[in-house]
Structure formats: C-alpha cells, structure tokens
Chain A
Amino acid sequence: MKRFWSLLFLLVPIGGVATFVAAPYFQIWLPEDVSEHGRTIDDLFKFILYLTGIVFIITESALFYFSWRYDATTNADPVKYSHGSHALELVWTILPAVTLLFIAVFQMEAWARAKMKPPNIAPLVEVTGRQFNWDFRYPGPDNKLYTADDIVRTDGKLYLPVNEEVLMKITSADVLHSFFLPNLRLKQDVIPGMDQSMWFKAKKTGGYDIVCAELCGWGHYKMKGRVYFLPRDKFDEKLKEMRQEQDTMRVEVPEEEE
C-alpha cells in the first residue's frame, strides 16, 4: 500500500490526543482534588500539558507531512541535500530554552509553597514508613511529639482535621519510601535519617488513599493506607478514643455462647 507508513505514523498524534480528550469521560483522569493548594498544581499540570500538547501536534503533523510528501514510492523528485540553516537552528534552540526557563520561573512560587515554606505550627502527626506499612504517631495532650503520651497507630488509618492547616513530619524506619496523597496532590520522598515535612489544608471530609510511590522492596505494592479528614470536634474525639484504647488496662471477655 502506498503511503502506508505515513498513515500509520499519523495514528500516533491522533491516538495520543484522543486518549487525553477521552480520559476524563472514562474516569482515568486526575483523581478528585480535596486540597486547598491542589488547584495550583493542577493548573500547572494543565498548562504544561497544553503547551507540550501543541508542540506535540505541530511536530507530529510535520513528521506526517514529510513522510507523506516524500514517500519513496510516489515521490519522483530528485533528492535535495541542505546543510542546515543557521536561523532555524537558532530558533529551535532559543525557543525551547526560553520556554523551559519560563516554566522554571513560573512554577517557582508553587514549589516554594509546597516544599520550602512550612507553616509555623506544631506537627499534628509523624508518619513513619517501614517495610511495608505506614505507622502514625500523634502527639498526645501535651502537643509534643516523642513524649510518653504519644499515640502510635500501626493500622494504616490516618485521621486529620479538615479545613485546617496541617503539618506532618515524615520519616523512614528502614529504606526509601515516598508518602503519596494523590487526592491532595502531594508526594514526599522519605529518606532514612532525614526529617521531612508535608503541609496542606484539606477542604473535604472523607477517606482518601495513601500509597507508597517509591519502590521500597517486594512488598511495595501492599504499602498503602487511608487518610480520613474529620471536622475538628470529631478529630479531637477520635484522638481521645485512640488514647483511651492505648491506655486500656482491661480485657473484654466475650460472653459465653450457649
């Protein structure tokens, strides 16, 4: 078939664009955003996606045009060799360089807010990644971590207050992990021996996924958890309940079944 290859390569931009256009209708687009800052991240993501998308369509179309126009089976014109164009070289070096520089400067504030300017508040929880579980340590009534009244949970369920700035400390007990909250657009690599923090304000109550986003060993896939955002009073109640459970000194003996 004539021009088979050029048509085949045309399917790449068509399929590529179609995938992105159709994705939201098949629920394979970005997960629900429940954070205050997530909007910025999503806007950045979309901006870069559109920018690269346009470049993608232009370059793919050019690629298609050349393979169509100069197909060896149909093109009888003699081959012309050109030895580069200084102007063209300048254009496609400077244009991407300027674009990249623009992106670098444009996102600086978002990066700084997400990674460099922790709020000046006490951490509400310490997260420890270990092969293969997320453990959570809440400061007790004294609001200080690493004191005798801390509450430590290993059941993979993290409770946090909603509509409130939250600061978390993140550490690792063994190897590299990455604490990923897809619904909050936050991800923080966890490095043993390094103290890291994460901060955000959630806008919606409910339970959302926690996953490990750094291959940490054979059990990486089962290293997941769930974060629950509760109104402040429910959160305080939950903390109290967990504290009482930790202080339990009695056993509940099940009733004899007759």
Chain B
Amino acid sequence: MNRISRSKLQISWIALVALVAGCDAASPPAFRLNMVEAVSRETSPEYQREIANVLGALFGTPDEPFALPVTGLDGAKLRMAAGPAWSDEKGTTVGLYRKHCVHCHGITGDGRGPTARFLNPYPRDYRLGVYKFKSTFNPAKPTDDDLHRVLVNGVPGTAMPSFALLPGSEVEALLEYVKYLSFRGQMETQLISYVYDELGEEEEEDENGNLVPIPAPFDPASDGDQREAVMDMLADVVAEWEAAGEQIVVPTEATIPADERSPEEILTAIEAGRELFYGKRANCATCHGPTALGDGQQDDQDSWNKAHKVFLVETARQAESIETREAQAGLDAAGQQLLSADRAVFGVWRKVADSLYKTRNAIPRNLRQGVYRGGRRRIDIFHRLYAGVAGTPMPASGPASPGAQGTLTEAEMWHIVDYVLSLPYEPPSQPLQALPVNVGEVL
C-alpha cells in the first residue's frame, strides 16, 4: 500500500515537473511562411521547409534577427527592435517590435497579429514591400523619411497611433525592423516563385535501378548556381529600396502656388480643382463620388485583400468542381484518381482559406471628413495625387517614373489639392449649388 502511494507520488511529481518544464520550453516565436503564396504556387512541404531554411539563413529568427551586409540593414538596430520585450535597470528597452507593434502587425509582419481581426482597415502586411504613404513614384519603395513620418504621426483614421513620444533611437530601430520584415517577406515571395518557375526535376535511381524523376532539391548552401540566384534576388530587393531616394517626387518649382495668395486667387484655384475633380481626365468623382463622400465606385480591393480574394475564389471553385464530380455517376478509374488527387489539394487550400480573414473592399476616402491618413501637409496631398496610393485602386495622376508622361499636369494637381483641402469646410448644402457646368458628363 505504502509503495503504491509512493509510486503514485513519484508519477505526479514527474507530471508536475514535465508540466513546468513544458511551460518553460514553449517554442520561441518563429516566422510563418506565406501560405497563400506557397499554396497558390504549389510549393510542396519539402520545398516549404527548404525555403524556410534559406530564409532562416538569410534573415535569422524573430529572436535573433540577422541581416547580410548586402542588405545595408543595421544589425544593432535590428537586435534592439527584435526579441522579447524587456528593459534593463538603466531603462534601455529592447524587443520594441514586440512591445509596440506585434499585436497588430504580427511576428512575421504579415499584418495578422492577435488584434488585427478587430481592425478596419487591417494592419499593413509588410511582406509585399508596398507602402501607401510615401513621397516617391507609385511603384517605388518609400524612403526612410516616409516610414519615419508614419511612425511619428500615426495614420489618422486608422488604429495606427503615433509613436512620437518614443526616444528617437527607438523609432529608428523600429523603422529598420519594418524594412527588415519587408526584405524578408519580399525574398520569401521571390523564393517561392523561383522554386516554382526555375527548379525542374532531376532523375534519381530508385532501389530497383530505375530512373525516376524527383523534384530538384532547393539547397543554395551546396548548389553554387542556386546560391548565386538567391543572392541576385536579394541584391535586387535591396537595390529597389536603396533607389527610393532617387525616386522622390519633387514638384516643379514654377508650378507650386505662392505661399501667400489672396482669397480670390485661392477661390479661382478651388474652382479649377472642382472642374478637374468632376472632369473625365482626373476622374476623381467616379470613386470619391459626386458629393466627395467616398460613395462612388466601391467594389475594388487593394493588393493585400485582392490576393486573398483571388485565393478564396479559387478555393470555392475547387470545392464546386469536386462537388459536381462527386455527384456524377459512373466516374471511370482515371476520373476517380484525379478526383482523389484534387481532394488532397483542396484540403490544403481549404485549410489556408479558413485561416484568412474576411476580405474587405477598398472604400474611397470621404474627402469631407478632413482626415488624411497619409498626412495633411499640402505636399502630402500632392503626393497622393501625383503617385496615387500604392497598392490601392487610387491611381497616379502623374507619371509612374521620372521623365514619363502623366494624366494631369502639376499645376492641375495643385488645383485639386486646393479643392480637396477646401471640401471639409464647404457648407453641406453647397455641393448642389456648386455642381460644375459639365455636370451632364458626370451623372
């Protein structure tokens, strides 16, 4: 009797120790693979592992980030931003990303932290390397100053707060880490494409001596060609970011309105802006609505939601195709085989599709609220018009790259800036009185 109870005691002790140890040994946070991308590109689990390995070698882990010298990223800043949130006796804080950002933007920077689900708009997914509020041409990357402005001013109208009260060094560290997550995310997409597009099949002898095709392994550590290809990709990603400084949209001095203008001059500019707003060339009213309340065309998505929407539509198509075939009588052996193969694929798709949040349409901004997400400096509004809002249906009115031809002239854009900035202060009854002469073409 005594012995039994003692052994019972031992077992419960072991269980307790295992429980405590288990808690301690919780696996450190890891970067998640972009499954939407991987599954759409038919990346096999083996390839997924190999891609994760390569990304790990290039960028390290969330606890120990690592950046090759070619990225130009500052390792010290990354270490300050990464890892668990913690501060020492002197008040130096590390783990800044996890302290301030992770609950929305997620450990991978995929905009899918625990609170992301409750936010509208969803937090930014850094992995595309696309940023909305910047001073550069539409396809170009943002400059450090642009990212800095977003961190300091927040994004009014969204859940992104200002981090202006953090010490400058901490803001710099976070900025570096955001770029790091973008580099990593962009590389991930490129590696998935590379594996899908470039790697073929190799032949290998099985145990009977027959040659069977197997997918070529993705192992840049031992394969020089692959290593070179990966490093080229990284260099391209970095080059794009480094070129941002040369892609800044600088308004032509001659077209910039004077600092001090008489009320009549401003009124004339506003009138001209209104004309353009409703005109066919600028075409603002189509989306922002004839009343500028953002109630025009609303059924488009931004790049982030569109990618998910495409994935969800394809998943639904597969489900329907499988259902139709299951309902069919007399499927032959080949058909049956194909059906079960499709079912296996669909299983993977559905799992990823179930993990996605509801996609949302891009709703054009209500211009009468006076809330400007990308900043309310006149130059900010000008940049939104000139370069559009990258990743969204808001098109660029200026050229897409230096020297090219845009839809509107800069002087015209400045008129629209004046008009847009006057909209929140227009009496609610005025829009009707102020409908432009070409109203017939609009409605």
Contacts and interface: CB of A to CB of B under 8 A. Distances in A.
B377 A132 contact: no
A246 B425 contact: no
Interface in B76-124: 100, 103, 115, 118
Nearest to A255: B245
Contacts of B249: 251
Given A249-B251, A253-B248, A254-B145, A222 B161 contact: yes
Nearest to B144: A254
A133 to B, nearest CB: 4
Nearest to A225: B165
B379 A155 contact: no
B199 interface: no
Contacts of A249: 251, 256-257, 259, 378-379, 382, 414
A155 B135 contact: no
B322 interface: no
Interface in A218-238: 218-219, 222-226
B376 A152 contact: yes
Contact of A154 (B115, B154, B257, B382): B154
Contacts of B12: none
A176 to B, nearest CB: 16
A245 B156 contact: no
B269 interface: no
Contacts of B338: none
A207 B249 CA distance: 36
Interface string A90-124: 00000000000000000000000000000000000
Contacts of B250: 250-251, 253
Nearest to A222: B161
Q: How many B residues are at the interface, by size bracket?
A: 20 to 34
B165 A248 contact: no
B361 interface: no
B378 A133 contact: no
B162 interface: yes
Contact of B425 (A133, A146, A152, A247): A146
B379 A251 contact: yes
A250 B378 CA distance: 9
Contacts of B164: 155-157
B165 A156 contact: yes
B237 interface: no
A152 B135 CA distance: 20
A133 B251 contact: no
Contact of A246 (B118, B259, B378): B378
A251 B145 CA distance: 11
A53 B25 CA distance: 49
A256 B248 CA distance: 13
A253 B245 contact: yes
Most chain B beta-carbon neighbours within 10 Å: one of A155, A226, A248, A256? A155
Contacts of A133: 154, 156, 161-162
A148 interface: yes
Interface in B378-414: 378-379, 382, 414
A155 B382 contact: no
> Which of A148, A156, A245, A249 has the most B CB atoms < 10 Å from its CB?
A249
B36 interface: no
B413 to A, nearest CB: 11
A152 B156 CA distance: 10
A148 B421 contact: yes
A129 to B, nearest CB: 11
B165 A219 contact: no
A245 B251 CA distance: 16
Interface in A131-174: 131-133, 135, 146-148, 152, 154-157
Interface centre among B161, B376, B377 (most CB of A within 10 A): B161
A157 B154 CA distance: 12
A249 B259 CA distance: 9
Given A155-B154, A253-B245, A248 B161 contact: no
A72 B103 CA distance: 57
Contact of B161 (A157, A223, A246): A223
Nearest to A131: B159
Contacts of B115: 218-219
A104 to B, nearest CB: 39
Contacts of B153: 154-155
Contacts of A132: 159, 161
Contacts of B414: 249
B421 A155 contact: no
B121 to A, nearest CB: 13
13 contacts: A132-B161, A133-B154, A133-B161, A152-B370, A155-B152, A155-B164, A219-B161, A248-B377, A249-B379, A249-B382, A249-B414, A253-B245, A254-B245
Kindly list the 8 A-B residue pairs having the minimum CB-CB distance in the complex, ordered from nearest.
Answer: A155-B164, A133-B161, A156-B162, A248-B377, A148-B425, A155-B162, A154-B156, A248-B379
Interface of A: 130-133, 135, 146-148, 152, 154-157, 218-219, 222-226, 245-251, 253-254, 256
